[in-house]
Amino acid sequence: MRKIESSIQKAFFQWVRIMRNTHPSLWMIKAVPNGSASMAYQKKRFYEEGMESGFPDVEDLWIDDGKLLFIEFKSPKTMYGNKAGKLSDNQLFWREMLTKAGHRYVLADSAEKAIKAVKIHHKII
């Protein structure tokens, strides 16, 4: 995960940790440890343990209307000309699989966008 994406995800989980005290359903939100491993043996071990490349960064196991929520964080396009994060082929595959199964998938380029999706999913007004 790139540095900007990591910062966005950290800000999102700061909000989750604060809010789950008053909204216990938020305990069902978990990060997926599918980051890139730098060493070949780590990649092999992670694959053998069931990690899948491209799976979303966050899974929300709270079921709303039979649906789960998955969030993928990507860096936003900035006014300084930085390109927005782009989904890899594996991420596109997982987005298609999860949405075909009827689940919600959000591509978030900010903590606020991810928080909004969670508020809707958990019916937090």
User: Could you give the domains of the chain?
Assistant: 3-121 (3.40.1350.10)
Distance of CA 86 to the CA centre of its chain: 14
The mean pLDDT value for 103-124 works out to 97
3-state secondary structure of 39: coil
Of 1 and 9, the structure prediction assigns the larger pLDDT to 9
Angle among Cα 57, 118, 26 to the nearest 5 degrees reads: 85
Flag the least confident range among 28-42, 67-81, 106-120: 28-42
Say what the pTM is.
0.87
Other Cβ atoms closer than 10 A to 2: 11
Of 95 and 46, the structure prediction assigns the larger pLDDT to 95
Tell me what percent of the residues of the chain surpass a pLDDT of 70. Answer: 89
Q: Is the pLDDT of residue 79 over 60?
A: no
pLDDT digit string (tens) for 7-43? 999 999 999 999 999 999 999 999 998 665 567 777 7
Report phi then psi at 90, rounded to 5.
-65, -35
Which segments of 3-89 are extended strands (E)? 29-31, 58-64, 67-73
Residue 115 binned pLDDT confidence (cut-offs 50, 70, 90): very high
pLDDT at 21: 95
Q: Is the pLDDT of residue 80 over 60?
A: no
Residue 118: closest CA among 3, 32, 23, 7:
23
Tokens encoding 56: 């979303």
